[in-house]
Each structure stands twice: as C-alpha cells, then as structure tokens.
Amino acid sequence: MTDTYTNLVNSGFTKTLAKRLGLPRPAVLRRHRPGAPLVPGPVLVVNDDASGPDADALAEQLLGWDLDVHRHAGHETRFGAVVVVLTEAADPQALGEPLLTAGSVLRGLAPGGRVLTVARTATGATSAPAAAARAAVPGIIRSLGKEMRGGATANALLLEADVPVGAPSVAGGLRFLLSGRSAYVDGQTLTVTTTDGTTPDDWDRPLDGRVALVTGAARGIGAQIARVLARDGAQVVVVDVPAAGEGLSRVANEVRGTALQLDITAEDATARIVEHVRTRYGHLDLVVHNAGITRDKLLANMKPDAWSSVLAVNLAAPLRLTTELLASDVLGEHPRVVCLASTSGIGGTRGQTNYAASKAGIIGMVHAMAPDLHGTGGTINAVAPGFIETDMTARMPFASREVARRINSLQQGGQPVDVAEAIAFLASPQAGGVNGQTLRVCGQLMVGA
C-alpha cells in the first residue's frame, strides 16, 4: 500500500510547499540495499572515562567493516552514525559528557543516520548509582528517538553483565541497528543475554545452508519474510491454508522454496511439517510463526468463536508447534524460533481484546520458552510490529489509517520488509546471544512502553 502523503511531501513542488507551510514531512527511510554502504557517512564513537577499553574494541570492530571511524566530534563533519559507549558507567553523572558530545553533532547527522548507545542492563549492577546510570539509558533513548529527524533513529544495545563487547551477538546487534535493515526500529532496546552466536562468513548471506519454515506466507508480511530469508541464503518452506494455495505457490516459486498447504491449528500439523521437511531437506533450522487472524469486536459484542479462533491461530498453534518440534528430532543445530507479536499486545487496541490477548501471550511464551531453546543451543524471540502498510491496513477507514500512520516518531507506516529484516536478524547466527526478547518494529509507535 502506498503512503501518498509521504510521497508528495518528498517530491517536486509539493515538497517545497509543505516546507513553507510547516506541514509534517515524513522522511524517505534508508532501507537495506545489497551493496549499499552500512551507514551514510563517518561514525563517531564516544564514551565515558571508564568505558574507554570497550569503546576502543568497538571502534576496531567498525574499522574492520571498512567504516570511517572518528573518536572526536568535528562539527564540520557530517556523521552517518554516532555510537555512545557507556558499558562501565558507574554513576549517572558519567552519562552527561559523552551524551552531550553526541548531541553536539546531531544537527549535522546525515539523513537516515543512526545513534546507538551500548550499555549494560541494570540487573547486573553492583551498586545503586550504577543501576541508576544503566536504567537511565533506555529512558534517554526513548526520548531521543522522538527528537530525531530526516529518517534517523536512536536505539540502545544492552549487554548482560557477563557479555563482553567482543561477543558475536554484540557485533551482530551493532551491525543490524546501524544498517538500513533497522529502518523502522526507533527508540528501542535490544538486549544481548549470552555470549552465544557466531560471526557469519558472509554478512550478506548469513543464512546459507539453513532451512526455514514460515507460516502465513501466501501474502503480505509472511511473503516478504520468505523473500528476505531466501535473499539471506535460506531454503524456505512456505505454509498457509489450502484456500491461499495459489498465492502460496507463487511465493514458493519466487523464493525457489517449497509450499505446504495446511491449517496450523489441525492436530496433525506438526506431523505434516516434520514429514515435509524430513523428505525434502532432512532438517529444519528456523521456524517463523507469522500466521495470524483478526476478529475485531468490542468485548461486549464478541461471540465465543471470535475469541477462540483468534487465540487458536495466533497463540495456541505456535505454542503447540514449537513444543512438538522441540520434542522431535527434525530441528538442526542451534535452532531459531521467531514469533510475530504486536504493539497491540503491549499497548492494547480498542475492539481487539482477543487479538491483544494472543499477542501479549506470544510475548509471554517467548520469555518462558527461552531457557528451553537455550538448552538446545537455540533461541526464541518475538517481533512486535506497529502500523505496517499491508492489504489489511489498507481496508481501514481513511481517517483512522492516517492517524495510525502519523502517531510514531517516524510519522509513517512501516513496510512488510521492515518486519522481515528484523526476523532475518533474529534468525541469523550473529543473533545467537539474543534470547527471550521482543523487538518492536513500529517507528516508536506512541502506545505501550
């Protein structure tokens, strides 16, 4: 679906007119293109006094990606990204100097630029001042995300106490949040929980040799997930109900994968998936629970079937399929499970008690099952989209759709590819240290936390 307003205010005479009238001007976001630079300019790395060694290590990592890294702010330089390293901040007073240094160059940040803080989680702090300093970082990022302009974003990479900055998932998270793959991720935190994960041989094809299964893949977000996983090297099995068979076949042909028509709520769904995967590929490495339905009604008007059908597809099926696949022998080494949650499950949406229940339940499922997946060498995470431009949102009333598009920091809806990029990252070997997390892909939608 096309956002006509955003297109108009970024082209020709209407761009000039919008600027003169002071109208909101959502920027064209910098999304990933193979072969494009990782960031749109030099990278400034700043730190508090105690975090110098970690800042040095991260600067070396960035230099290894052939980036132009600066350690001092030059106001004549148009930076493409700013990385603020606060991993050893022991007191809130230590935050001021590096953050104000970063702030001094933000007016000249390149369009589509990135601000990224790298810090520790508050849970591992050994003193109250250290805990206060660490807890302050997400608040700073949530506020800074709302100040960014020109399609730039601000996010935080948080590390648990025993995770060194040299861990593969720190590099993976750093690269994802700096790149165009995170175009619609703003004002968010991504936590690296363990030292697990590996650095891919090819950052552009980290899923080479992996077999992925995507449910609800006949169209929309599911189809785009299949495309991005295939682009990144995966062999993809696309799944949807028989009624969507024609669209499913088109997607399977496009990604050179295989199609499996089934209802994921059926009792034999797992058995059929295992049979298909074992026959065609021998093993399964990645499961994406994307299939979902809505049956919106005010709770006062909701019928039992509207409640039960949404919970069955959106939550009960992913729970059962994941549990049964873990109990089978079809999963490969270091399996990944990624589930589709929603900001509706975080902030709630009028007329969606059933849908919000299912998506909040997904977040709970991911948190609870993370130890089980870690025990197998794998991970389970969720992605929570906000307003995404799909056929479903195109059917919304015009006024409601426009409001939904604009009430986020980027002032526009996301694209299915934004959700797919986040899922591809969480599915990758470099995200092996990210487990039990829910990453919002919502442009910092102004609902929920």
Domains of the chain and CATH, by start: 31-192 (3.40.50.720), 211-441 (3.40.50.720)
Q: Which pLDDT tens digit goes with each residue over 329-347?
A: 999 999 999 999 999 999 9
CA-atom Rg of the chain in angstroms: 22
8 and 24 in contact (C-beta within 8 Å)?
no
Q: What is the overall mean pLDDT for the chain?
A: 93
pTM of the model: 0.94
Q: What average pLDDT does the segment 58-70 reach?
A: 97
Residue 81: burial class (beta carbons within 10 Å; 0-12, 13-18, 19+): buried
Q: Which pLDDT tens digit goes with each residue over 78-115?
A: 999 999 999 999 999 999 999 999 999 999 999 999 99
395 in the Ramachandran plot: left (φ > 0), alpha (ψ -120 to 50) or beta? alpha
Name the pLDDT band for 21 (thresholds 50, 70, 90).
Answer: low
| DSSP one-letter string for 356-369 | HHHHHHHHHHHHHH
Name the pLDDT band for 311 (thresholds 50, 70, 90).
Answer: very high
Q: Is the pLDDT of residue 18 over 70?
A: no
Catalytic residue among 5, 184, 281, 355: 355
Would the CA dihedral through 273, 279, 285, 291 be positive or negative? Answer: negative
Q: Is 355 a catalytic residue?
A: yes
Lowest-pLDDT choice from 220-234, 257-271, 391-405, 421-435 = 391-405
Give the integer Cα–Cα distance in Å for 26 and 30. 12
Q: What average pLDDT does the segment 252-266 reach?
A: 97
